[in-house]
Every structure is written in C-alpha cells, then in structure tokens.
Amino acid sequence: MSAVAAPSVYAGGASVIAVGVLLAEFGMFRQALLRDQVRLYAAQSALISVLAVLVAAARHLPELYVLGALSAGLKVVIVPLVLRRLLRGIGRTGGQDGAGRDGAGAAADAGPGWTDIAGSGSLSVASTVLLAIAVAAFGFFAVGALDIHSPVLPPIALSISVSVSLVAFVLMIMRRDVASQAIGFLALENGISLTALVVAAGMPLILEVAFLFDLLVAVVVFELLIRVHHGRADSLSTAGLTRLRG
Amino acid sequence: MLVVILLLLAAPFAAALVSLRAPARVTQAVTAVTGVGCFALVLALVPAASQHDLAYLSYLRIDAVSVVFLLATSFLYAAVAVYSIGYLARSRDADPGFARYSRRLYAGLNLFAWTMLAAPMMSNLALLWIAVEVTTVISALLVAIEDTDGAAEAAWKYILIASAGLGLALLATIFAYYAGAQVLGAHYDLSFAPLLQAGGRLPHTPVRLAFGLAVLGFGTKMGLVPMHTWLPDAHSEAPTPVSALLSGSLLAVSFYAILRYYQVAVAALGPRFPRDVLLAFGVASLLLAALYLFDQRDVKRLLAYSSVEHMGILAIGVSFGAPIALAGVLLHVLAHAAAKGNAFMGAGVLVRKFGGKRISAIGGGLDLLPWSGPLFGIAVLALCAMPPFGIFRSEFEIVQGGLAASSNAAAAVLIVLVTVAFLGLSITVNRMLLAPRPGGQAAGGAAALTRGEPSTWMVVPVVAGVAALLVLGVHPPAELTGLLARAVHQLGAAA
C-alpha cells in the first residue's frame, strides 16, 4: 500500500466507504429537519456496517460478519426507529399545545415544522461547515502524522475516522436543540466505531457486543431525558437551559 | 473470596429489583441492610487484597488499588442508604406521588451503587469503560428525578457532556487495544494485567494517545477543569443522597479508571509524560475551583466546586509520583468520600430545615440544628484539611511527597490554592452556621423555625462519617495501612 502504487480494489473501496461516512456527517449540517438527520444517521451507520462486512470478507475475520449484522440491526433499524417514534410523539403533543406556547426560546419547533433544527445562533450553516472542514482537516493530517498502522484497512481510513469523530463534536456544539445534540452524539459513536474497525478489528466479539448493548442503553436514556426536557420546556430548544450557572 | 465478590455484585442488583416491587418500608430496610452489608463485604476483602491480587472467572480482578475504591463507594452506599430513610420521611405523607418517586429513587440508588461497585472489579479495560458508562446513564436519570426545570437542565447537560467525554474514553480504550495487540497478538482481550506486564514493549504513540484521551474522557466524569462544567449543575440539582454518591464515589471511580491508564502509561512511557499531563489538569482544577468557592449562592454548588478542588488535589498528588504522595492520594480518596458525603448529607438537612439551597436564606444553623449544624461544620472543616481528620493526613502526605519528589513549586502552589479554597469555603459556611438567620425574626411567627432535627436517620450516617474521618486522621488501622502500602507498590512499581 505504498503511495506510488495504485490502491487495490479492496483498499479503494474501503476508502470510498470511509469518505462516504464523513460526507454523510457533513450532510447532517445542512439538513433542516430532524427526520432527514435521522435518515442520514441511518445511512452513515449502514455504511459502517457494510465496511465491517467488507473487512470480514477480505481479511477473513468471520467475527466481523456478526458485528456488521448486529450493528446494522441496532444502528440502522432500532435506533432510528426509537428516534422517529420520539419525534412523532413530540410532534403530536407539540402540535396540540403549540398555540399556547410562549415565544421565548421556543422558536425551534413552532408551527408545522416542529422538527426544525435549531442551528447555532452565532454561525450560519456555511460558516459551520467551513469550521467543520477545518476541524476535519486538522484531525485528518494530525492522525496521518502519527505512526499508527491499521492491520486491515488503508491508513487513510484511520485519519477519516478521527475526522468523523471531531466533526461530530462540532455538530453537537453548534446545534441548539436536544434531539440534534443527541444525534451528534450518535454520530460521534459512529466515528468511534469506524476507528475501532480500523485499528481494533480483531477485538473480541463479546466486547464489541457489549459496546453495542451499552449504546442501546444510552439511546434509551437519551430518549427519556429528551422527553423530560420536552415535557418541561415544551420545546426541543436548548435556548432556555441557562438557569444554572456560576 | 469468590463468594464475597459475587455477593457484592449480586446484592445491590437484587436490592434494586426489590425496590421496584416492594412497598416503601421494605425497600428502605432492604437497601439499608444491603448498603451496610456491602461495606462489611468489602472490609472482608481487605486482608486478602493486601496480600495478593484476586482474579476470578477471567473478568474479575481485584487488587489493593481496587479495594481502596470499593471501600470508598461501599461506605458511602451504606451511609446514603440509611440517610435516605430520613430524607424521604417528610414527603411520605404530603405527596401523592411519593410511592412512585421513592420506588424510582431507591431502584436508581441501588443500581448506581451496583455499577460503581462493579467498575473497580473489572479485569478488563473495555468492561471498565462499560461500567463507567452505565454509571453515567443511571446517574443521569437520578439527576433528573426531581421534577423541576433545573433538574431537567442539569440532567441533559450531564448526559451530553459525560457521554461525549466517555466517547473519548472509548477511543482511549481502542488505542489501548491497538497498543496491546501489537505486542500480545490480535486476540488480545484488553485485560489489564498482561498490558501492564507488556510495559516497555508497548508502542509509544498509541499509549500516549490512549493516556491523553483517557484523561480527557474519564477526566470529564471526574470533574477535571475544563471538562467539569456539568458537575456543579448535576450535584446541586440531584436529590441529596445522589449528590453524596456522585461526589464521593462517582468521581472517585472515574479517577480509578484514569489511575489504570496511568499505570499502563508509566510502564510504557516512563513517568514523565503522564505526570505532566495530570499536573496540568490538577492545577487548573484546583485553581478554578478555589476561586469559584468565593462566589457561590447555592450550598450544594459550593460543595460541588469543593469536589472539583479535591479532584485537582488527587491529580496533583499522582503527578508527584513519590510513594508517600501516592499513599496520600489513596487515603485522600477514602477521606474525601467520608467528608464530602458528610458535607452533602449535612447540607441536605440544612436545605430541608430552611426550605431552600440559597446560602443567603440559611443562617444560625448551629442553634437550630443541635446535631446536624455542628456536624456540617465539622464536615466542612474536615474538607478544609483541618486536623485531626483524614484529609489533613492525606494532604500532608501529598505535600510531603511533592517535596520528596523535588516538585517544590507544585507543592507550594498546592498549599497556596488549598488555603485559598479553605478561605472561600469557611467564610461561606460560617455565615450559614453562626450568623443569625437573615430576616428570620422580622418575618414573624410563620418563618420562625424551631430548634430540632428533621430526622434521626439523617444524623446517624453523618456521625459514622465523622468517626471514619477520625480513624483515618488519627490512627489508620494496620490492615488499612497494609492495603495502602500494597496499592502504592502497585501504582509505583512500574515507575
């Protein structure tokens, strides 16, 4: 896999999928509706599952088939379902008592666009994307300079996976509604899964399964707390979360 | 010993299941018995763990370092289990939702204690991460349990910040696997002991990455500045028994995780890099927390910043690296658990008595609360490292270790900042305990409070905590010194 020779089909395909994961994350920046963001998250997770299966086939690591299937089941099907159910439930209650809501800080889900995403108050979408590109580039080159070689995937995949994680932080920081922040966290988890696939493909399956189970628990708790937040603030916006300071 | 360990793992979980079904009185009794029983079980582990490491069933491994953290957690679990009986006593009659609230609080408390007891028993860095992550999700639910705007806000900030932090800690785990797999082969399962043995053969870059990410990630949960922002919110908005567990045990468990990575990093890279990292975070935490202590209006936030301060002291203590400093650090974990648990439980009584957390509304506590007033005062003095309590001994040892390691500047900074923190904490607490209650007389009969304790159950565990602090400060028992000596050897052996 030297820099001069053309990459093999496997290496090229794997890199393309890794880039796809990163692009899906950038796609999340421009989505205006939560529903679309959940869809992008599912697509991103699907890409990672495909990559797991690809590595399993090319490198003869049968455990990764199981991991790919489990992670697809959880992250492409179950988690998006949980999130959609949550958004539907919130949309219903939000629609009913939306009229009596006071306007302060509740702009995020006013009117029929109840799942509008509240972007950063200080940066436009374009500036946010520029910031994310800068962060991604930093991660990409910083990790490229490290002396860490993946046993199964081309080195570029590690750089991309770290970029995915860093961009997820931008996503979490720049969004001002609880559901998008939760999706930012899930995207971070996807970035970490990708990193795990690159540098720790041989990790025992039982641990990987435990990580996935843990993700499921976390998602359920996130969902509960989003409901709590929505129940109190009658909005997904975090603009009102300024009581505790000092 | 295996029976003891399995009981420790099973009992709190069983108590949580009971809490979901049984009536409130049964739950209270079961939880109190389980809490005290767990503490007794951990005490039973001490003699064996001071002799040799206990490893069972390939996933359980308990050495002297783990037992120190188990002691801290189980002591607070017992204290909080008893305290909760009094904490919930008043709302029982008044509130129609009491049964539901009590069920959720007790189930959560038991599960929370269960995960925190499980974390130090794991033989495996991946399982350790999972245990810490589960403590996060359970404690986030416990923070949200009070049905207020503040609690919802604190719980959201907590789960988001802590989960993001633990994401970094997961990356640390993955890089630790990568480092281990280079030496131990692809089927390496992230067990801690072989990683430590591989020591100097581990590749440097991934170990460096793993340690840095672990300090950032677990440090978020430990409350190191600048990742501490969730901590004052969560501690102040959670119910008092939960605040005590958060501060005394949860932060300690996260520190335990950092210590494990510290051991690996020292074995692979030598002491320089890990100590510098911890020193930087420690001084930042201590500095910021000491300054914030001066300007607090909420008694539980005051104690939360004091926790940040003490976590900074722990990080600085480890960075000194001298054996006496490490002994001080481990003793500090125990003493801080007892003192901070006491302070939160005492503050809980003050809050109950004066009907709010605002410091300005609290005054004359010493007169109005014949037991809890003085006990709260003692707890705060103990937190400020007054002799003859445990924190005095531990901080003294840490400073001594700093001088022994010729980190004179850092030791001096430590002393100055601890003194600043002492000023901030004691000025505020004096006002609450000694100064007359603001507006208490003027408001007339309705606002006048009668002298007396809300509940005996809220006093008993605090008295036990003072006893523990005295034992740790005046004359630690030989078994404990033996345990600490072995733990220090394990932490320092690689250095």
- Residue carrying the six token digits 């009185």: B25
Check A178 against B156: CB less than 8 A apart. Answer: yes
The Cα–Cα gap between B225 and B165 comes to 13
Residue of B130, B133, B171 to mutate when probing chain A, most A C-beta within 10 A:
B171
User: Can you give the pLDDT at residue A154?
Assistant: 87
Which residues on B lie below 8 Å from A224 (Cβ)? 141, 144
The Cα–Cα gap between B251 and B219 comes to 9
The percent of residues in chain A predicted with pLDDT above 70, rounded, is: 85
The answer to whether B137 and B221 have CB atoms below 8 angstroms apart is no
Distances (CA, A) of B441 to B405, B432, B454: 56, 16, 21
Measured from the Cβ of residue B12, the count of other Cβ atoms closer than 10 Å reads 28
Give the chain B residue whose CA is nearest to the CA of A177.
B156
Q: Which of left, alpha, beta for A149 (phi over 0: left; psi -120 to 50: alpha)?
A: beta
User: Can you give the pLDDT at residue A148?
Assistant: 85
User: Can you give the pLDDT at residue A213?
Assistant: 87
Check A181 against B206: CB less than 8 A apart. Answer: no
Check B170 against A211: CB less than 8 A apart. Answer: yes
Instruction: Give the domain range for residue B348.
Output: 2-493
> Considering all CA atoms of chain B, what is the largest pairwise distance in Å, rounded to the nearest integer?
76
The Cα–Cα gap between B229 and A215 comes to 23
Please write the tens of the pLDDT for every residue from A158-200: 999 999 999 999 999 988 888 889 999 999 999 999 999 998 8
Check B170 against A192: CB less than 8 A apart. Answer: yes
The answer to whether A71 and A49 have CB atoms below 8 angstroms apart is yes
Tell which wins on pLDDT, A137 or A102: A137
Nearest alpha-carbon partner for B50 in B69, B64, B71: B64
The answer to whether B224 and B281 have CB atoms below 8 angstroms apart is yes
User: Can you give the pLDDT at residue A106?
Assistant: 42
Which residues on neighbouring strands pair with residue B191, listed in sequence order? B124
Nearest alpha-carbon partner for B59 in B114, B124, B120: B124
Which residues on A lie below 8 Å from B157 (Cβ)? 241, 244
Sign of CA dihedral B395, B397, B400, B404: negative
The Cα–Cα gap between B102 and B121 comes to 29
Alpha helices per DSSP H over B321-458: 323-354, 365-368, 372-383, 390-404, 408-433
User: Can you give the pLDDT at residue B365?
Assistant: 86
Q: Which residues, at least 6 apart from A232, have a Cβ–Cβ distance to it below 8 Å?
A: B149, B152
Nearest to B137 among A204, A210, A221 (CB): A221
Q: Which of left, alpha, beta for B345 (phi over 0: left; psi -120 to 50: alpha)?
A: alpha
Check A244 against B157: CB less than 8 A apart. Answer: yes
Residue of A59, A167, A194, A203 to mutate when probing chain B, most B C-beta within 10 A:
A203
The shortest C-alpha distance from A240 to chain B (Å) reads 9
User: Can you give the pLDDT at residue B49?
Assistant: 92
The Cα–Cα gap between B285 and B283 comes to 5
The shortest C-alpha distance from B125 to chain A (Å) reads 10
Give the chain B residue whose CA is nearest to the CA of A152.
B186
User: Can you give the pLDDT at residue A69?
Assistant: 94
The shortest C-alpha distance from A157 to chain B (Å) reads 15
pLDDT interval class at A8 (50, 70, 90): confident
Nearest to B156 among A146, A203, A225 (CB): A225
Q: Which of left, alpha, beta for B439 (phi over 0: left; psi -120 to 50: alpha)?
A: left
Q: How much is the ipTM here?
A: 0.90
Inter-chain CB pairs, A–B, below 8 Å? 120
The shortest C-alpha distance from B396 to chain A (Å) reads 30
The Cα–Cα gap between B22 and B19 comes to 6
Check A244 against B233: CB less than 8 A apart. Answer: yes
The shortest C-alpha distance from B189 to chain A (Å) reads 6
Check B141 against A225: CB less than 8 A apart. Answer: yes
Which residues on A lie below 8 Å from B160 (Cβ)? 172, 181-182, 185
Check B152 against A211: CB less than 8 A apart. Answer: no
* Total domains in the fold of chain B: 1
Domain-wise residue ranges, chain A:
9-92+115-233
Amino acid at A1: M
Nearest alpha-carbon partner for B247 in B355, B383, B126: B383
B191 three-class SS: strand
Please write the tens of the pLDDT for every residue from A77-133: 999 999 988 888 876 654 433 333 343 344 444 444 456 666 666 788 888 999 999
Q: How many CA atoms lie within 13 A of B196 on its CB side?
A: 17
User: Can you give the pLDDT at residue B437?
Assistant: 77
Give the chain B residue whose CA is nearest to the CA of A158.
B175
User: Can you give the pLDDT at residue A3?
Assistant: 55
The shortest C-alpha distance from A119 to chain B (Å) reads 17
- DSSP label at A7? P
User: Can you give the pLDDT at residue A202?
Assistant: 83
Check A211 against B126: CB less than 8 A apart. Answer: yes
Give the chain A residue whose CA is nearest to the CA of B289.
A246
Q: Which of residues 189-218 of A touch B (CB under 8 A)?
A: 189, 192, 195-196, 199-200, 202-204, 207, 210-211, 214, 217-218
- DSSP label at B60? E
Q: Could you list the mean pLDDT of each consecutive 10-residue stretch along chain B, which spans 495 residues?
A: 92 95 91 96 94 89 95 96 89 74 93 96 94 94 91 93 94 93 88 90 93 96 94 94 95 96 94 95 95 91 95 96 94 96 94 88 88 93 93 96 92 94 91 78 55 89 96 94 94 65
The answer to whether B118 and B253 have CB atoms below 8 angstroms apart is no
Nearest alpha-carbon partner for B257 in B307, B299, B219: B219
Which residues on A lie below 8 Å from B126 (Cβ)? 203, 207, 210-211
Predicted TM-score of the model (pTM): 0.93
Nearest to A207 among B190, B205, B233 (CB): B190
Check B137 against A181: CB less than 8 A apart. Answer: no
